[in-house]
Amino acid sequence: MSYKITEDCTSCGACEPECPNNAISAGDAVYLIEAAKCTECVGFNAEAQCASVCPVSAPVADPAHVESEAALIEKAKKLHPEKNYSGAIPSHFRK
């Protein structure tokens, strides 16, 4: 599932540069995550970086966008065709 940012967001911007997919942008009141680009950092990190750097825990898993690890890896491959995803792929599914 992709992440979403709750109304707890203080618009500090800490999350935006951490996203490997450029899925985070400033909204009117809070930052937003584009579900079509969010891979939960699968393929890049073992945990969602937006959630790990947020000082108020505003990024949370979005139950409206549930995806399997395989689906998230495929999404990452489409977003980053230049990256090699063979071998040990960083993923929170593998903890």
- The pLDDT tens digits of the residues spanning 6-20 come to 999 999 999 999 999
User: What span, in angstroms and rounded, lies between the C-alpha atoms of 62 and 64?
Assistant: 5
Predicted structure pTM score: 0.92
Residue 65 CB neighbours (<10 A): 15
| Strand-pair partners of 8 | none
**What are the domain boundaries of the chain?**
3-82
CATH 3.30.365.10 fits 3-82, yes or no: no
Stretch 53-79: mean pLDDT: 96
What was the pLDDT predicted at 93? 92
Q: What is the DSSP string of 2-51?
A: -EEE-TT-----SSGGG-TT--EEE-SSSEEE-TTT--TTTTT-SS-HHH
